[in-house]
Amino acid sequence: MKTVSRPFARIIKIIGIVTLMALGLSTPLAAQNPMVPSTGDTSEAVALPDTLTPEAIHEMVARMSDDQVRGLLLDRLDAVAAAQTKAENGKGLLTTLQETWVAFYSPTVDAVSKLPVLFSKHGEALSNFRASFGNQGLLKLFAFMGIAIAAGIAAEMVTNLLTRRWQGAETAAEDANLWTALSFLTRRFGRDILGLVAFYFALRTVGLALLNPAQLAFAAPFVTYLIWFPRLGAALSRFVLAPHRSDLRLVNVDDHWAGFLHRNLIGLVLLGGFTLFLVGFDARNGVTIFETRVSFWLNTAVHIYVALVFWTARQGLSDMMLGTDPDRSRFDEWVAWAYPFFAVGVAAVTWIIVQILAGHQQFKLLLTAPHYTTMFWLLLAPAIDTAIRGLVRHLLPPMIGEGPVAEAAYKATKRSYIKIGRVVAGLFVILRVADAWQFDLRNLAAAGVGERFATNFVEFTMTIATGYVIYELVSLYVNRKLAKEQTSVTAVEGDLGGGEGGGAGGSRLTTVLPLALVSAQTGIIVIFGLLAVGSLGIDITPLLAGAGILGLAIGFGAQKLVTDVVSGVFFLIDDAFRVGEYVEVSGTMGTVEKISIRSMQLRHHRGLVHTIPYGEIPKLTNFSRDWVIMKLMFTVPFDTDPNKVKKIFKKIGAEMMQEPLFKDDFLEPFKSQGVFQFDDVGIVMRGKFMAKPGTQFTIRKEIYNRVRKEFDANGIEFARREVRVALPGGEEVENLNEADKTAIAAAAGAAVQQQVEAKQAEADAAKKAK
C-alpha cells in the first residue's frame, strides 16, 4: 500500500470527522452497528461510540488509519443510502395521499402568502430590466424591435400580394359545397401560414442584425409568445370556424358561436403566451417564480378562462360535435351533449395536476406548458371528429344495390369507418398529450409486462384498441361483401304462388358469411381479450389450461352438439342449402330462414317454423337450386282437337317470352307435351316450362289466366266431371215427386264420393311408389 502524505492524511481525517458527525446526527441509532472497514491494513473491527459527540468522533478518528477512515465513510454512506431507499419504498398509500394533498394545496397557500410582494417584486424586475439597459438602451431596444416588426409586416404584405392569385376568387354561397369550401379555406390558410413564415424570417433576420444577445433575450420571447403564437392561432381558427363565412364553415356551428369561439381562442392563446413570457421575463431579471408565484395566478386564470368558454358555448360545441350527418346514433347524441361538461372537467383536472407538480417542484416540466398542449387538443376534438365524419361521408363508396338491406349495410359501413377513425385519432391525441408531459408511452409499453402498473395499463389500452380496430375492419369487410351478395339477388315481385314456397335462395356467400363473421368476431374477442389480460401482468397459462380442460369436458358431455356442429360444417362445404332456398328434410318442407353453427330454421309456406339440428338430417332435398321444371295439366272434352290445343300452348309460350315481366325468368318457354292420358272425363293435355327457382308460381298463375282466355276465344271448354243416373221410366222425369228427387240426389252424391275416394287412393299409391 502506498504511504499517504501527512497533509493529505490530515485532510482525510478532518473530512471523516465532519462526515461522521453529520451522518451520526442524521441517521437513526439502528444504523450505528459495528462495521468492518471495506479496506484497511488490520482486521480489527471498528465500532462507533455509543454517543456520537464531536470529541468522541475526533478521538476515534485519531486512532484510525487513513484507509480505515475511508472504508468507514464508504460503509456509512451506503447505509444511509439504503435507509433512504427503504424509507421511500416503504411509503404506504396513506402517506402517498398525504404528500399529494400537501403538494396540491401548498402552491395555493404559498401564492396567497406572496400576494403582498407580488407587485413590488414585479416592480423590482422592471427596475432590473431598466437598469440592465439604461434609458437610452431601452429606447434603442424598442426602436430596433419596431423596425424588425415593421420589416416582418412588410415581408408578410409582399408575400400576400404575390400569392393572392393562389387563393382564387371568392366562392358564392349558393355554389359552396364541401370540396369548394375546403379548397378555398386551405388556400387561404396556406397564404396565412406563408405570410407568417415570411414575417418570422424577415423579423429574425433584421433582429439578428440590429439587436445584441441581451436585447434578443427579451425581444425573441416577446415576439414569439405575444405576436406570432396568437396570429398562428387566429389563422387556424379562421380555417376551422370561418367566422365570417357560414357557407364555407367546416363545422356545424352558427355565426354567433363561431365568432365567440374565434375571439376567445385568440384570447386564450394570448393569455397563455403572456403567462410564459412573464415567467421568463421575471427569471431573467432577478425575480424567480418562487418569490412572486405569479405563474400560479396566471395559470389559474387560463384554466378558468377555458372552463368559462366551454361552459358559455356549450350549445354551440354540442352542435359542433353532433354534426350534420343524419345517420347518427344515440351514443353520438349523448357524446355531443356531454362534451362541454367533460371539457370543463378536464380543465379542472389539468389545473389540479399542475398544482400537484408545482408542489413537487417539477417546474422544469411545467415550463414546457404540457397543460396548454392538453387543452389545445381538447379544443380541437370537435374539429377532428367533424373531419373524420366528413371524410367518411364523402370518401365512402356509393351504396351497393337498392332497398333496406343495401341501406342498412351502407349505414353500418359508414359507422364502422367513423369508429375506426375515432380510435386512430384518439390514440394520436393520447400520444401527443403524453409526449407533452414527457411521458413516452411507446417506451413505457415496451418496458415489459408486469414491471409497473402504468406500463401494464398502457399495454392493456393499446391491445384493446388494436383488437377493436381489427374487429371493426373484419366486420366492415364481411358486411360489405354480404350486402353486395344480398342486393345482387333479384327479388320476385308480387305473390309467390299464393305463398307455396319454393323461392330462389341467396348466393353461397350469403349463407356462409354470417357464420364466418360471428366466428371471426368471437375469435378476435377471445384472442385480444386474453392478450389484454396478459398485458396486465396476469399469467394466462392457467386460463388456457382451464379452457382446454373445459372444452374437453364439454366435448365428452355434449357429443350430440359436436355432431351437429361438424355435420353443419360439411353441409356448408357441400353447399347443400342456402338461406332463402326451399328444401325438404325427412318430410318437413320450408324455406331456409336462418342458420347457426348447430341448426337450421325452416319457414313453412303456411308460417310454421321448424328448427332442425344438422346431426338429424339424413337426407336433404333442395327445390330451389339452379332451375325448376313445372308441368301443368288441362282436361278438355273428348271431341276437342289436340293439335288446336298445342297451337294455343305454343302461342302463349311465345307471347310470354316477349313480355318484359316474364322473359328473364324463363329458361325454356311454355310448350305442349301433347296428350298425356284419357280419363273418364276427357282428354288430359300437358304443358311444361323451365324457369328460375322462385318464379315458377307467378308464371304458372299467368299461364292459367291466358289458357282460360284462349280457350274461351276458340270455343274450347274445360271438361267437367259428370254423374249420370239411369232411371226406369226416365221419360216421366217431369212427374217425379220430392221424395224421388231426394233419392236420386243421394245416389248421385254417393257415386261422386266413391270416385273421389278412388282418385285419392290412386294418388296416395303413386306417392308411396315414388
Return the top range by mean pLDDT from 109-118, 400-409, 446-455, 574-583.
109-118
The secondary structure of 547-604, three-state, reads: HHHHHHHHHHHCHHHHHHHHHHHHHHHCCCCCCCCEEEECCEEEEEEEECCCEEEEEC
Residues 533-546: pLDDT tens digits?
777 767 667 666 66
Angle at 366 between CA 360 and CA 372, to 5 degrees: 135
- Give the least confident one: 418-422, 479-483, 599-603, 638-642: 479-483
> What's the average model confidence in pLDDT over 367-383?
78
| Same-domain check for residues 442 and 543 | no
| Same-domain check for residues 330 and 221 | yes
Q: Does pLDDT of 211 surpass 50?
A: yes
Strand (E) or helix (H) holding 691: strand 683-691
- Give the least confident one: 17-31, 57-71, 590-604, 715-729: 17-31
Q: Does pLDDT of 632 surpass 50?
A: yes
Contact predicate 459/535, CB 8 Å: yes
Q: Note the pLDDT of residue 41.
A: 44
Q: Any residues with CB less than 8 A from the CB of 608 and at least 6 apart, and which?
A: 590
Q: Residue 488: name the closest of 476, 499, 480, 500 by CA.
A: 480
What is the rounded CA–CA span in Å between residue 642 and residue 685?
8
Q: Note the pLDDT of residue 35.
A: 39
- Domain assignment of residue 117, yes or no: no
| Same-domain check for residues 468 and 510 | yes
What is the rounded CA–CA span in Å between residue 362 and residue 321?
35
DSSP for 10-22 reads HHHHHHHHHHHHH
- Domain assignment of residue 55, yes or no: yes
The residue written with cell numbers 316450362 in the block is 689
Residues 389-399: pLDDT tens digits?
777 777 777 76
Burial class (CB in 10 A: 0-12, 13-18, 19+), 576: middle
Q: Does pLDDT of 221 surpass 70?
A: yes
- Give the least confident one: 156-165, 468-477, 568-577: 568-577
CA 172 to chain centre: 36
| Same-domain check for residues 414 and 517 | yes
- Domain assignment of residue 719, yes or no: no
Q: Note the pLDDT of residue 741.
A: 66
- Give the least confident one: 15-29, 51-65, 228-242, 295-309: 15-29
Grid cell digits, residue 466 = 388494436
Report the 10 Å Cβ neighbour count for 46: 19
Q: What's at 671, amino acid-wise?
A: K
Which of the four pLDDT bands, split at 50, 70 and 90, describes residue 52?
low
What is the rounded CA–CA span in Å between residue 65 and residue 666?
116
What is the rounded CA–CA span in Å between residue 666 and residue 674?
21
Q: Does pLDDT of 113 surpass 50?
A: yes
| Same-domain check for residues 443 and 366 | no
Q: Note the pLDDT of residue 304.
A: 92
Q: Note the pLDDT of residue 732.
A: 58
Per the structure, the complete domain to which residue 759 belongs is given by 732-769
Q: Note the pLDDT of residue 150.
A: 92
- Domain assignment of residue 426, yes or no: yes
Contact predicate 422/388, CB 8 Å: yes
Strand partners, 685: 634, 675
Burial class (CB in 10 A: 0-12, 13-18, 19+), 628: buried
The mean pLDDT value of the chain amounts to 75
| Same-domain check for residues 670 and 578 | no
- Give the least confident one: 97-106, 183-192, 740-749: 740-749
Report the 10 Å Cβ neighbour count for 87: 9
Q: Does pLDDT of 106 surpass 70?
A: yes
Cα–Cα separations (whole angstroms), residue 131 to 124, 215, 427, 624: 10, 13, 50, 99
Q: Of 576, 595, 624, which residue is a domain's last? A: 624
Q: Does pLDDT of 75 surpass 80?
A: no
What is the rounded CA–CA span in Å between residue 708 and residue 761?
29
Task: Compute, in degrees rounded to 10, the torsion defined by CA atoms 504, 508, 514, 517.
Answer: -170
- Domain assignment of residue 328, yes or no: yes
Number of domains in the chain: 6
| Same-domain check for residues 274 and 246 | yes
Report the 10 Å Cβ neighbour count for 520: 17
Task: Look at phi and psi of residue 762 and say left if phi exceeds 0, alpha if psi is from -120 to 50, else beta.
Answer: alpha
Grid cell digits, residue 6 = 501527512
Please provide the size of the chain in residues: 770
Contact predicate 405/487, CB 8 Å: yes
- Domain assignment of residue 116, yes or no: no
Q: What's at 419, amino acid-wise?
A: K
The residue written with cell numbers 414491471 in the block is 451
DSSP for 300-360 reads HHHHHHHHHHHHHTHHHHHHHHH-S-S---HHHHHHHHHHHHHHHHHHHHHHHHHHHHHHT
| Same-domain check for residues 179 and 300 | yes
Q: Residue 617: name the closest of 635, 633, 595, 638 by CA.
A: 595
DSSP for 263-276 reads HHHHHHHHHHHHHH
CA 683 to chain centre: 71
- Give the least confident one: 89-93, 487-491, 729-733, 765-769: 487-491
Q: Of 395, 419, 438, which residue is a domain's last? A: 395
Q: Note the pLDDT of residue 147.
A: 92
- Domain assignment of residue 443, yes or no: yes
Q: Note the pLDDT of residue 29.
A: 38
Euclidean distance between the first and the last CA atom of the chain, given in angstroms as a whole number: 116
Q: Note the pLDDT of residue 169.
A: 53
| Same-domain check for residues 484 and 526 | yes
> What's the average model confidence in pLDDT over 328-357?
86
Q: Note the pLDDT of residue 335.
A: 83
Q: What's at 349, amino acid-wise?
A: V
Percent of the chain with pLDDT over 70: 68
The residue among 29 and 166 whose pLDDT is bigger is 166
Q: Note the pLDDT of residue 82.
A: 64
Report the 10 Å Cβ neighbour count for 112: 12
Grid cell digits, residue 184 = 378555398
Contact predicate 617/585, CB 8 Å: yes
Residues 510-519: pLDDT tens digits?
666 677 777 7
Reduce the DSSP state of residue 736 to 3 states and report it.
coil
What is the rounded CA–CA span in Å between residue 473 and residue 478?
9
| Same-domain check for residues 391 and 308 | yes
User: Checking DSSP bridges between strand 609-613 and strand 620-622, what pairing results, if any?
Assistant: unpaired
Task: Compute, in degrees rounded to 10, the torsion defined by CA atoms 183, 185, 186, 189.
Answer: 160
| Same-domain check for residues 290 and 160 | yes
> What's the average model confidence in pLDDT over 660-664?
81
Q: What's at 486, amino acid-wise?
A: Q
Grid cell digits, residue 768 = 308411396
Contact predicate 66/4, CB 8 Å: yes
What is the rounded CA–CA span in Å between residue 281 and residue 132?
13
Which of the four pLDDT bands, split at 50, 70 and 90, describes residue 421?
confident
Task: Compute, in degrees rounded to 10, the torsion defined by CA atoms 178, 184, 190, 192.
Answer: -120
Residue spans of alpha helices (H) in 437-507: 441-445, 453-488
Which of the four pLDDT bands, split at 50, 70 and 90, describes residue 151?
very high
| Same-domain check for residues 68 and 173 | no
- Give the least confident one: 10-24, 134-148, 171-185, 612-626: 10-24
- Domain assignment of residue 99, yes or no: no
The residue among 137 and 569 whose pLDDT is bigger is 137
Q: Does pLDDT of 226 surpass 80?
A: yes
Q: Residue 210: name the closest of 161, 140, 162, 273 by CA.
A: 140
> What's the average model confidence in pLDDT over 197-213?
90
Q: Note the pLDDT of residue 290.
A: 79
Return the top range by mean pLDDT from 123-127, 443-447, 562-566.
123-127
What is the rounded CA–CA span in Å between residue 702 and residue 511?
32
Among positive and negative, which fits the CA dihedral 190, 196, 200, 201?
positive
What is the rounded CA–CA span in Å between residue 88 and residue 470?
43
What is the rounded CA–CA span in Å between residue 637 and residue 682?
5
> What's the average model confidence in pLDDT over 215-225?
89
Q: At what angle do helices 255-284 and 229-241 cross, to 10 degrees?
A: 160
Q: Note the pLDDT of residue 80.
A: 64
Q: Does pLDDT of 522 surpass 50?
A: yes
Q: CATH number, domain at 556?
A: 2.30.30.60
Q: Note the pLDDT of residue 483.
A: 65
What is the rounded CA–CA span in Å between residue 262 and residue 246?
13
Strand (E) or helix (H) holding 635: strand 628-636
Q: What's at 456, amino acid-wise?
A: N
Q: What's at 226, amino acid-wise?
A: L
Task: Look at phi and psi of residue 498 and say left if phi exceeds 0, alpha if psi is from -120 to 50, else beta.
Answer: left
> What's the average model confidence in pLDDT over 659-667?
81
Q: Note the pLDDT of residue 414.
A: 78
Which of the four pLDDT bands, split at 50, 70 and 90, describes residue 446?
very low
The residue among 508 and 127 whose pLDDT is bigger is 127
Q: Any residues with CB less than 8 A from the CB of 157 and at least 6 apart, and which?
A: 195
Q: Of 42, 69, 90, which residue is a domain's last? A: 90
Reduce the DSSP state of residue 35 to 3 states and report it.
strand
CA 388 to chain centre: 11
- Give the least confident one: 110-114, 305-309, 732-736, 754-758: 732-736
What is the rounded CA–CA span in Å between residue 312 and residue 306?
10
Q: Does pLDDT of 154 surpass 90?
A: yes
